[in-house]
Copies of this chain bind each other. A is one copy, B any other.
Amino acid sequence: MSLISEKTIERLILYRGLLLQANHESESGIYSHQLGRMAGFTPAQVRRDLMQVGYTGSPARGYDIAKLIQSISALVDPAEKREIALAGIGSIGRAILAYFQGRSSLLEITAAFDTDPEKTDRVIHGCRCYPVDRLSEIILARGIRTGILCVPSGAAQSVTDAFVAGGVRGILNYAPTRLIVPPDVYVENRDMIMAVEKVVYFSGPRTGQRKETG
């Protein structure tokens, strides 16, 4: 019970997002089947997940929405504000910077890095940009533990090494490469090309299944 699985963490974060998003003026409580419908899971799944956060609802009123949000946050949010570093100020990097601006009070991308001198030593979407040479130095000095990687695949591993050298413990990887990291560094891969190819496969004829092995 002590260790919560990756999938459960993902769903908990989703539940919280849905609860924050929805306007619950009228109701202050929510049942597992309601939350399940919102998220696309079975009520049993929702109850299992919520068990793990340790907050317990009541059969009469379900889960108190405010308290549930609070409990999930206590579990998944860091204790204090967390700075995040981003490497690769191309179109994706820039999009993430723009998208992330002011979304969260606890998380902030406070340093961006690129090789191109045109892009460094200035502020983009409110984020200071530096040359990659200084990556390890700067994130180490600031105690940054989380990195977002949006560099081309050729540079991905070397920038990863710089992240790791700078003390990063988790990397969100948008490059279409598999990164080599020490076993205690967490990597989440979000290759967009692969995502498109996967969706194309599953939008194929007849629930996406053909079988014409050659």
Contact = CB atoms under 8 A, between A and B. Distances in A.
Nearest to A185: B203
Interface residues of A, number: 76
Interface in A156-214: 168-172, 176-178, 184, 186, 188, 190-204, 207-214
Interface string A42-83: 000000000001110000000000000011001110110010
A14 interface: yes
A146 B203 contact: yes
A19 interface: no
Interface stretch (A87-95, A110-118, A127-135): A87-95
Contacts of A92: 95, 99
A13 interface: yes
A26 interface: no
Contacts of A191: 14, 17
Given A18-B178, A186-B203, A203-B169, A196 B100 contact: yes
Given A17-B193, A75-B213, A203-B146, A95 B91 contact: yes
A195 to B, nearest CB: 6
Contact of A199 (B4, B186, B199): B186
Contact of A193 (B3, B104, B208, B213): B104
Task: Please tell me how many copies of the chain the complex holds.
Answer: 2
Given A10-B194, A194-B17, A214-B74, A82 B200 contact: yes
Interface of A: 2-4, 6, 9-10, 13-14, 17-18, 21, 38-40, 53-55, 70-71, 74-76, 78-79, 82, 84, 90-92, 94-96, 98-100, 103-104, 107, 145-146, 148, 153, 168-172, 176-178, 184, 186, 188, 190-204, 207-214
Given A17-B193, A74-B214, A188-B195, 10 more contacts: A4-B209, A13-B201, A17-B194, A75-B213, A78-B200, A84-B200, A104-B197, A146-B200, A170-B203, A172-B199
